[in-house]
Amino acid sequence: MRQFGLWLLLVALELTGLYLFTTGFFPYKRSLPGFATFPPSSTSTSRPPTATYDRLVLMVVDALRFDFVLDPSTSAMAYTQGLIRKDRARAYIARAAPPTVTMPCLKALTTGSTPNFLDAVLNIVEGDTSATLTSADNVLWQFRHAAGKRLAFYGDDTWLRLFPNLFDRYEGTTSFFVTDTVEVDRNVTRHLPAELERDDWDVLILHYLGLDHIGHLEGPRSQRMAPKQHEMDQVVELIHRRLLADDAARKARDPAALPSLFVLLGDHGMNNLGNHGGTSVGETSPALVFMGSPLDGPAAGDEEAPRLSHYAGTDTLPTYGIVNQVDLVPTLSVLFGTPIPRNNLGALIPALLAGRSVEDRARAWQTNADQILAVVRSNHPDFVATHPRWLANPASLPVADCDTITPPEAGLDLARLQCYYTRARHLTEQGTAPDLALAARHYAGLVRYAGAAMSASFSNYNLPRMLAGIAVLSLSLGLALVPFLPTLTRIRTSRILGLFTVNLAGNPYWFPAWLFLLMVVTYMVTLLGTSYVEDEQYFWYWWQTNLLALQLVRILRAPAAAFPVAASREWTAGCLGLQLVLWRLAQQWNDAGTRLRDIKDIRSLLGNQFDSVTAGLLLLTLVLVAAHQWQMLSPGRSYHAYVARAATAGLAVSVFGSHLLSQGPDGLVQAPAVYLAVAHWGAALATGSTFAQVAYVLYGVSLLATVAWAYDARCRHPAERSRIYLVAGRSALATLTLLLVLLNRLSNAGLLLIFHLLLRLDAPTRNYYTTHQPILPTAVSLLAISASFYNFGYSNSLATVDLSMAYTGVAAYQVGLVGLLTYVSNWSGPIFWSAAAALGPVEGQALTGQWVKTPAPPTQPRGESSVQRPLVPATPGVGSRLARRAVAVFTLGQVFALFFLTIVVTIQRRHLFIWSVFSPKFLFQVVWTVHFIFTLGGSLWLSGWLATTG
């Protein structure tokens, strides 16, 4: 119990340090308080810009990547493309800042400020009150309170969390039932005819989710993508035609009536897997299209942005350039004559100001500049926008462009801002048209430079809190090293030098211990490089392959007498060779990381369609795993075994039915006739979600029946308790495998079968090293746990988080349940191998009493060439010691990784890739920490306790 208490203290320190560091590194962003207002107008150049529109329809299509609109070869949005070709719309590629998930992007689109990375986590918490923008200045608040406009909303209920009590009419749809690609959009479109007939709204916001859900389920090349794009295009046509007709009618009644503006945009894009959250071109490049009667015709004026005909190597329709997503906020504010939100860092979109007078354009840019300078002053209180000497003596203004001024200090160049603003003020006061046009250019230069500079450095780290977290984590690291101190003190210099020699016949214990420490140290070094973090899987694949090869060499050189009768040296070596082959196959199943995303892997060859190959793999996996559980769990005289076996069989059937019925008609196009018949019969009984719910119940029944069988068998055979626990544990692991098949994509069923085979093949090697080198099986398990995460195609990018299976069998959104299913579905590989590692102590205890052959002594009678001796000395506590050793190894590895990563993140907090590489890695490390503490650590202690009772 002393070791368990020490571990609990270590966990408490680790979680405390993690909390301190996380709250210091991811603080809620501080912003300028209050809401913007226009200053009193004293001169013609200080009046607010004139509104040019009075009605707005904002249509957000979730994950509307730029090529879904602008690429004629892949887009099915013919009407929208026709408007762009005829210069009846202004099309842009809107660059989104990471993390590219809905909530941060919506905050950027409404406040104009850079996203907070912690919003990527809060994005899935529907009840999180910190997500609201009720106290933050935003364009919708300005529409409602400064301009008195009436707002209506239909779509993703994230808007309702961000802006409670702001809409006059609304209906939200949950954004997390990603399996729904039809009703989620129909629930928005069904309101359109009635809303377009009404005249009691000024701002109508629509947020469609179906296209994003298709991407999550099947990727951007899904067969359902083109029909969904066509559906969105029909909505665009309906709205655009109706707004043009309404504008014409209103203009006929009142010549002074202002027109309507229609904006089509994506909140973010998606990568080639259909996910988002990262920094790839596809994820950060949503489309942005402006439509309306004033935009019928080419843009005029010398401020038009450069036209583009190509982007990222893809042929696209001509656009008006690339803008930042936050640029929408000041543009809408100026077009509708409202104050720009106080924390905005965006710049006006020049082509949208075409048709305005030179004086009005200068006023618009001055308003944008004054607003963004207030943000600068909040970070630099002593900053003065105008240079007194330059303003008093215009002749002393620098002749060279303001862009060439060398900053006097690192970071934001304040002198450059002074140059921009002083020149612009001087030119504005001249009042002539050429001077006002030049002043507008200087204001624009100031806004773009200040916005970009502030966005790059706009972070509010609580450094003392971060350092306090690191200090507490160092204490937990010290406790993690305590179990290794005796080993470290016994190591002599000659043994350290032996690390660099191929001395495979030396002491078998210390070499793997130092090999493990070498692995930990090299892993910490990789955390310093962004490329290593993005493609971390190669580190684990390299160590896994080489450690397996090392085991193979050592086993081939070991004496044959060291192996049990049931597992000869040659058999053990053959099993290791097959493991090398199967692990290589697993590594190629799903390509992870960033470098090989476009290379065909096994998953892409299989696809996610329910055809004969994928269905055959699914059936094979279910049958073999269920049969293995049946084989292990002998009924004997206990009816509990019959219940467990029957529940497992029902579980396998339910998993198959859930996958089959969840495909829908499109997913069964290539299915053999027999599967279509089964699907038709199953659909008459229940839905795929119902089958999944039945599977959850049967999993629980099988688990409880297995526990009851173990208890009953233990009472009847107390001397065999260790072996009974081992059989029960293996049975539970087989049942868990079936559950993981349910919570994974169809194409990954074969991967879980490979894991099951690898575990069976590893038994002889594990049994041998449990006796001779106890630390080595633990190191191998650590590699399997880590590498298996990447085998499923995941990486240290939020874009690879798969939500498609997180709602399997969920009838209503519950954040706790969805969060748990997200964890289980995305960490299926680590969960499987953690459960397998947790069986180690029980397995080690169960080995007591097995026998091996040894050479016969000289006094042996003739005809008997060998004798037998116990493989493990029959002493109590073997399993408990194995559990403590495994907990020590796993804990040291993960505490080392977390501690060093916090140091790296602190050092690199001003790095260019802090939010795109290091921050996602830190979030993933937090989940890994929780996994190692609760899933793996808790299971190991339970296994050790069971082994002790055996």
Q: What is the DSSP string of 892-944?
A: HHHHHHHHHHHHHHHHTTTSTTIIIIIHHHHHHHHHHHHIIIIIIIHHHHHHH
Per DSSP, the three-state class of 313 is coil
Q: Distance of alpha carbon 530 from its chain centroid, rounded?
A: 17
Contacts of 453 (CB under 8 A, 6+ apart): 411, 412, 413
Those residues with Cβ within 8 angstroms of residue 79's Cβ, 6 or more apart along the chain or in another chain:
233, 234, 236, 237, 240
Amino acid identity of residue 418, one-letter, is Q
pLDDT digits (tens, 9 = 90+) for 160-172: 988 988 999 999 9
Q: Is the pLDDT of residue 121 over 80?
A: no
pLDDT (tens digit per residue) in 340-376: 999 999 999 998 988 888 999 999 999 999 999 988 8
Q: What is the pLDDT of residues 55-83, one digit of tens each?
A: 999 999 999 999 999 988 889 999 999 99
Which of residues 75 and 410 earns the better pLDDT score? 75
Tens-place pLDDT, residues 708-749? 998 888 888 877 777 888 889 999 999 999 999 999 988 899
Question: 0.85 exceeded by the pTM?
Answer: no
Residue 647 confidence (pLDDT) above 60: yes
Torsion angles phi and psi, residue 494, rounded to 5: -60, -35
Give me 189's structure tokens.
Answer: 């479109």
Q: What is the pLDDT of residue 364?
A: 93
Percent of the chain clearing pLDDT 70 (strictly above): 79
Average pLDDT estimate for 867-893 = 70
d(CA 137, CA 341): 5
* Residue-level pLDDT at 387: 65
313: confidence class by pLDDT, cuts 50, 70, 90: very low
Tokens encoding 13? 């320190």
| pLDDT (average), residues 598-612 | 71
Q: Is 143 helix (H, G, I), strand (E, B) or coil?
A: helix
Distance CA 151, CA 202 (A): 6
Query: What Rg value do the Cα atoms of the chain yield, rounded?
Result: 33
Q: Determine the pLDDT at residue 771.
A: 61
Computed over every residue of the chain, the mean pLDDT equals: 82
425 confidence band (pLDDT: 50, 70, 90): confident
Band (pLDDT 50/70/90 cuts) for residue 301 is very low
Look up residue 260 and give its amino acid: S
How far does Cα 30 stand from its chain's mean position? 25
Rounded Cα gap, residues 748 and 738, in angstroms: 12
The DSSP symbol for 501 reads S
pLDDT at res. 652? 95
Q: How many CB atoms lie within 10 A of CB 288?
A: 27
Tell me what the mean pLDDT of segment 297-316 comes to: 49
- Lowest-pLDDT choice from 210-214, 503-507, 768-772: 503-507
- pLDDT exceeds cutoff 90 at 13: yes
Average confidence (pLDDT) over 455-472: 82
Q: Does residue 309 have a pLDDT over 50?
A: no
pLDDT at position 560, please? 73
pLDDT (0 to 100) of residue 135: 82
CB 855 within 8 A of CB 559: no
Please give the C-alpha separations between residue 752 and each of 585, 627, 881, in angstroms, as whole numbers: 12, 15, 30
**pLDDT tens-place string over residues 196-205:** 999 999 999 9
What the chain holds in terms of domains, given with CATH numbers, is 52-355 (3.40.720.10), 500-556+567-608+760-805 (no CATH), 609-744 (no CATH)
CA separation for the pair 234, 80 (Å, rounded): 9
Percent of the chain surpassing pLDDT 90: 40
pLDDT at 110: 94
Reading the block at residue 565, the tokens are: 């009768």
Helix pair 763-772, 569-587: axis angle to 10 deg: 120
Where residue 2 falls among pLDDT bands split at 50, 70, 90? confident
SS3 call for 88: coil
- pLDDT of 887 strictly over 50: yes
Work out the angle at residue 533's Cα, subtended by the Cα atoms of residues 530 and 534, and round it to the nearest 5 degrees: 85
Place of tokens 């005289």: 637
In the numeric block, the tokens 């000041």 are attached to 330
Per-residue pLDDT at 591: 79
What band does 774 get if pLDDT is binned at 50, 70 and 90? Answer: low
Say if residues 649 and 627 touch (Cβ distance below 8 Å).
no
Task: Express each pLDDT in 245-276 by its tens digit.
Answer: 999 999 999 988 999 999 999 999 998 888 88
Q: Which pLDDT score, from 0 to 100, does residue 506 have? A: 43
Of the listed ranges 636-645, 670-679, 801-810, the least confidently predicted one is 670-679
3-state secondary structure of 262: strand
CB count in 10 Å sphere of residue 686:
16
DSSP 3-state percent helix, strand, coil across the chain (nearest 5): 60, 5, 30
**For residue 902, is pLDDT > 70?**
yes
pLDDT at 409 over 50: no
| Least confidently predicted of 138-142, 149-153, 588-592 | 588-592
The C-alpha atoms of residue 740 and residue 828 are separated, in whole angstroms, by 6
Cβ proximity of 917 and 530 under 8 Å: yes
**Confidence (pLDDT) at 453:** 78
**Average pLDDT for residues 919-928, to the nearest whole number?**
92
pLDDT(44) > 60: no
Strand partners, 156: 173
Diameter of the chain measured on Cα atoms: 120
The torsion region of residue 571 among left (phi > 0), alpha (psi -120 to 50) and beta comes to alpha
- Determine contact, residues 112/799, Cβ cutoff 8 Å: no
pLDDT value of residue 764: 82
| pLDDT level of residue 327 (50, 70, 90 thresholds) | very high
